[in-house]
Amino acid sequence: MGSERIAPVPFHRVSIDDRFWSPRIETNRDVTIPLGYEQCRKTGRLDAWKLNWKDGDPRRPHIFWDSDVAKWMEAAACSLRLHRDDSLEENLNNIISLMEKAQQPDGYLNSYFTAVEPEKRWTNLRDRHELYCAGHLVEAAVAHSFATGDDRFISIARRYADCIDSTFGSGADRKRGYPGHEELELALVKLFRATDERRYLELAVFFLNERGTKPHYYDLESVSRGEEPARNYEYWQAHLPVREQKEAVGHAVRAMYLYCGMADAAIETGDGELAEACRVLWRNVTERKMYITGGIGSTAQGESFTADYDLPNETAYAETCAAIGLVFWAHRMLHIDERPNSKYADVMERSLYNCVLSGVSLEGTRFFYTNPLEVRPGHAMAQSGSENNYRYSRQEWFSCSCCPTNIVRILSSFGQYIYSRTDDSIYVHLYAGSTAEMVMSGIRVNIRQETEYPWKGEVTLFVEPEKSVEFTLFLRIPGWCENAYLKLNGEEVKQFPVTDGYVHIRRLWRKDDILHLVLPMPVRKIEAHPEVRDNCGKIAIMRGPIVYCLEEEDNMPDLQDIRLDSSAELKAGYDGSLLGGCTVITGTACIRQSGGWVDKLYRPGLTETVPVGIKAIPYCLWNNRKPGGMLVWISVN
């Protein structure tokens, strides 16, 4: 076996041709990315870069606007890499030109702190998103350089990174600060990888190591501003040095980006302690704080993690960005060890197929910021006021529009999550119609998948080496799957070896080798851990990686009164005309007889039930018809 470190096959080496993903990716390219540009333009996010805001102008730039623009640029760059679009390229170049002009002589690059409050530069790292915006600029620039081969944007970003590098650090003349909203850490590792300039990695490691140490930088910074320090720093994951953090706390998106940076640094530096901290945090998140949809961050208060097993359904925050962040982190965790462990890919798949896709409408024009697992329109109105419509109907944009711009970047680079490789191994993490191009031992090898996943569990893998070559092919057996079945060139492979969740076959691969992997997809009734109080007495329906939900549209308004017998048979059937084509689950449940309640709010005894047909649709497709009630966790008898 070789020693080359395992790495993802980059998205531009993977062409997607998939009944499930291709329409979403094309809609993202043709509708959502242009729409994102238009929203940035209309809302003033682009003009902010002209630095000509004047006191009194109502379109006052906001401290996080740069990040929205940068995330859109990253998505546009990735999209351009796969699909030429002159107008998109021109828009992108125009923004780069604005940034070029906006960059200060010392390299500083922030529309808000240059035009609105220049005197406040670097005075409030904790709250004001300055280094966060820098991180997104760097990420976008790396993607742009990679996509276009043009160095203009990455040169700007390097100058800014150098400015930051000369400002922060352990030297006596440096500030010992670190990002209040993590993001720059992972971006600097990307910049290091793109430029081979080790200073960027070292600055990332400095930020990580400094975080949560005493005296607390945010305390000192608060005192300098003449303000009271914060009571605690969980919200910013700055309550402890990162290596001592055992539990995911605080703002969920911040946490995800921090953990990504930690994993990246661990991978690049071989820091085993940092890697172990990531593994401990991973277990806390995925074994105690993750919705069945792959959503994380239970509460709107601080968009935060809460206590272990505290996963309320109706009030679930489960921000789209946090689910996307979990995919980012899972993808890194897949590469933190010598060999990937499928548990990371299981979570990556869970989030992608459920909470992430829920974030955008099928038409690509509307977005969810939060992703509740239960919606009662009247109740939500009553509880939160009508301004909180955004929780049960996708919106066109948000004043804080981090989620739409994260969706466009994850969908435009989706191919990177499917395959990884070392010098003599190929890993298939996800099943989606696609072709990955690699060179193994100097020989071009394509791996081509044909599948109707996630609606069907059959996957045909065509191994297409230019000429015969030996390597090991690892195929993930999803954690949800029992009785997987494998054929090689028509012959069943009995007792195939599975290591860390991957079946592996080492052989001299020849042209026209074909693997058939069968992942049986019965409908599953899923229980949650008994300490998840909100799901006691309830089950969720899953099939393959897909979490299902009941929508009022297909059922009835009072979804909460539906009770499913524990032995009820549930059938899966593909409906090509529904929501772009999807597998629905049907069965018979029961509801209480409705009579006898006139004038009564409470009454003794237990009402007889009557049978009722139910129909569940994939959670990721909810709210694509009329707004109405929705339920993931169903009462069970």
Instruction: Just list the catalytic residues.
Output: 303, 402
Minimum separation from the CB atom of position 306 to its own copies (A):
3
Q: Note whether 619 and 547 are within 8 A (CB).
A: yes
**Residue 20, token pair as written in the block:** 């499930």
* Residue (469 or 590) nearer to its own copies, CB: 590
Q: CA 225: distance to chain centroid?
A: 35
- The 10 Å CB-count burial string (b at 16+, else e) for 317-331 is bbbbbbbbbbbbbbb
- Closest Cα to residue 614, out of 573, 562, 537? 562
SS3 208: helix
Closest by CA position to 245, among listed 221, 211, 287: 211
Structure tokens given for 426: 């190929």
Retrieve residue 418's tokens. Answer: 């499917």
To its own copies, the closest distance from the beta carbon of 497 in angstroms equals 22
Cβ neighbours for 533, distance < 8 A, ≥ 6 positions apart? 309, 310
CA 26, 29, 34, 37 dihedral sign is positive
The residue among 55 and 602 lying less far from its own copies, judged by its C-beta, is 602
Q: How far is the CB of 539 from its own copies (least distance, A)?
A: 7
Beta-bridge mates of residue 588: 613
- Among residues 423 and 558, whose Cβ is nearest to its own copies? 558
Nearest to 404 by CA among 93, 31, 98, 15: 31
Peptide bond into 454 cis (omega under 30): yes
Rounded to the nearest whole angstrom, what is the least distance from the CB of residue 583 to its own copies in the complex? 18
How far is CA 498 from each of CA 104, 424, 478, 483, rounded to the nearest angstrom? Answer: 55, 18, 11, 12
- Please report the DSSP string for 116-148 in residue order: T-GGGTTS-TTTS-HHHHHHHHHHHHHHHHHHH
- Radius of gyration, CA atoms only, the chain: 25
* Shortest distance, position 381 Cβ to its own copies, whole Å: 7
**Is the separation of the CB atoms in 369 and 293 below 8 Å?**
no
Shortest approach of its own copies to residue 314 CB, angstroms?
Answer: 9
Give me the phi and psi of 558, to 5 degrees please.
-90, 65
Q: Are 503 and 518 in contact (CB under 8 A)?
A: no
In the complex, least distance from residue 58 CB atom to its own copies, rounded to whole angstroms? 18
Least gap, CB of 525 to its own copies (angstroms): 7
Dist CA 287 CA 282 (whole Å): 8
65: part of which helix (H) or strand (E)?
helix 65-82
Contact 445, 510 (CB under 8 A): no
Extract the tokens encoding 512.
């026209």
Nearer to its own copies, 115 or 347 (CB): 347
Whether 111 contacts 126, CB under 8 Å: no
If the CB atoms of residues 172 and 606 are measured against its own copies, the closer one turns out to be 606
96's tokens = 């780069």
Q: How far is the CB of 480 from its own copies (least distance, A)?
A: 8
Spatial separation of the C-alpha atoms in residues 281 and 590, rounded to whole Å = 41
First to last CA, the chain: 53
> Which residues bind to its own copies, rule: CB under 8 A?
283, 286-288, 290, 292, 298-299, 301, 306-307, 310, 312, 315, 376, 378-379, 381-385, 480, 524-534, 536-537, 539-540, 542, 558, 560-561, 563, 566, 591-592, 594, 597, 599-607, 635-637
For the chain, the maximum distance between any two Cα atoms, rounded to a whole number of angstroms, is 80
d(CA 437, CA 419): 10
**Beta-carbon contacts of residue 38 (< 8 Å; ≥ 6 apart):** none
As a whole number of angstroms, the distance between CA 146 and CA 10 comes to 11
User: From the CB of 555, what's the least distance to its own copies, in Å?
Assistant: 14
Residue type at 97 in one-letter notation:
S
Report the residue number, 204 or 562, with the smaller CB distance to its own copies.
562
**Residue with Cβ nearer its own copies (90 or 599):** 599
Task: In angstroms, give the least distance from the CB of 427 to its own copies.
Answer: 23
